Structure 1
Amino acid sequence: MISPAARDALAGWLAAQRALRGASENTIDAYRRDVVDFLAFMTAYKGGEQGLSPLLQVGVRDMRAWMAKTRGEGVGSRSLARKLSAVKSFYRWLADREGADPTAVLSARAPKFTRKLPRPLAEDAARAVIGAVDLQSRQGWAGARDVAVVTLLYGCGLRISEALSLNRRDAPLPRSLRITGKGGKERMVPVIPAARNAVDAYLRLCPFEGDDAAPLFVGARGGRLNARTVQKVMQQTRALLGLPASATPHALRHSFATHLLSAGGDLRAIQELLGHASLSTTQAYTAVDTARLMEVYLQTHPKA
């Protein structure tokens, strides 16, 4: 149980994250959980509800105790680093508002961890997925729908949520599509002919009609297609093709970026196409490309 004052402060910080930083609702929910867990620990650790004054007096030992307890629950280094980042952000906001010194919280060091590299599909595997995904449905229109969705993921680098948020007004797809991504950030994405053709083919077969506000991609009952359905179709397709478990819908987006980079694409341009807020996120694909080149080198160079 945390104090009313702490809850009010948390609500204020979350509102600021939503309004000023444009954080998505999923991000807001994750922030809320992480900071509530921290505040609940401090309440129990210090023996009673913690108002704002005690919270602003959290010390180095308190932070170490929280981190040790969190690690003891089996939380990995990456997740703990994320939780600590949320707590630090909350304390920066709280300290600025209350005129306090958050040094003890901000000086806590996140555990080191190795960032996972994106796991794209090979070019022939990506083409094979697009060619086989329609085999997983008994209804022709649903198979055409699935082809259209995965073609958008691979051909345009969309997140699955972005593809499924498209409405009827977006079709026929233009040469460039305005996409609203994470945090409400908009970007323009070129649409390749294969994606436009796939969506056109799906709409010709789709048994459901709707106005401009109706979903473009629909499920069996005509409602907006669920991401879980696409994930299941990908699971069945990768089993058919003998692909690894990493061949997910999101891997098609990774493949889009990696294959563009391999073909000489500019990193800044790829960042814009993907809608990454930071170039450092996009730079992960350079590591993937370097690793692939080294693998080819070791396998083919006569001196290797």
Structure 2
Amino acid sequence: MQTVSEAASAAELTRSLNAWFRLEARDLPWRRPGFGAWGILVSEVMLQQTPVVRVIPRLREWLDRWPTPADLAATPQSEAIRAWAGLGYPRRALRLHACATAITESHGGVVPRDVDALLALPGIGDYTARAVAAFAYGERHPVVDTNVRRVLARCVDGQGEPAPPNARRDLAAMDAVLPADPSEARVFNAAAMELGAVVCTARSPRCDACPVADLCAWRGAGAPAYLGARRAVQKRYEGSDRQARGILLRALGSARRPLSTEELEPLWPEATQRDRALSGLLSDGLVASGPDGLSLPD
């Protein structure tokens, strides 16, 4: 349970951060009035591993083509995969297609607002379920992503970086500072994310521009160096299995007909890696094998 001083500090933090957000927040499509629950769900899936600047135009294209879950559900999986090209991690396209199908079949084509119902949808995890409930429907739920975890670690815990992710601990930490009023809680969820994305960044935090610098426990302690476990360094993309998978998948999507393994050989000459990439695509359901060769799934 929070002490009186802790509650006062949390209230001051939320007031200051919400006021800053209302003045300084980036104008992003999913933050605009009237942006529906389906659009927010799609945006959250796209944003999971893709920068905002790449998501915005592709989100617009996606929603123009499939403005409702039923529209996407009525389309072959192959078209969703093709439309995802360039966003990376194309399994998200399959999960979103499966999600749209479940919403259409089990919820009358309306994205549910209940977190448990959202969690029951294919490919929807704890973060996305809470983000949709909070941002689309105004429900009071803590929403925690990497940026929020870093803001909490610094502002509240006085640590330069957050500890390894732990859903129960992280949600409890955010809930402890989340305003009781649902509308203010919705703003604070977005504000904490925004602060972590543009000010309280991982490598070069702009503390002089931070609206809650005076409340930050890490800054108050002199911004001590982080001594905990380091994040894993992302592997190079060039020459990786990810690059091989992407090249092969794009070729199959462009062909619009089955291709033989012989036709794919020139695209990635290293046979062992090519075979491994194709095996992974087949295992993930992104590619189907038929009597005439390999193609995107229908």
TM-score by length of 2: 0.25
Decide which structure has the larger Cα Rg and report it. 1
TM-score by length of 1: 0.24
